[in-house]
Amino acid sequence: MDILYIRNLKVDAVVGIFSWEKRIRQPLHLDLEIALDIRKAAATDDIQYALDYKTVSTRLSQFISQSEWHLIETLAEKIAALLMAEFGVTWLRLKLSKPAALPSADSVGLMIERGDKDAPCLFSE
């Protein structure tokens, strides 16, 4: 299986449990890996057979910036569901980071893997 990845996509969002967090936009960073088969796109050199990473990034940025959540856990699940429903993704790994969450840490966040349980675990970090 091949992997399309997007690293460090930055989107400002309203996410948090505290009242002050509900009044501001905070930066979120996403790392995304999507399993797919690129052979047809490679053989034809035709974008219609590829997963367009610009379209994926634009859609994610739009969705995240227009939503409000208490927990990044909820947002991560919503992102995975969106990718599977709108782009036909069958396996993904998402790292969602909130760099401004703790003053004493560079970032906090979580990683989730969703999709086909038979897909290989390919995360490189």
Q: Which two tokens stand for residue 36?
A: 């797919």
Give catalytic residues, as residue numbers.
98
Q: How far apart are CA 92 and CA 114, in angstroms?
A: 5
Provide DSSP, 96-116: EEETTS-TTSS-EEEEEEEE-
Amino acid residing at 77: E
Pairing of strands 108-115, 91-98: antiparallel
DSSP conformation class of 25:
-
Distance CA 78, CA 103 (A): 27
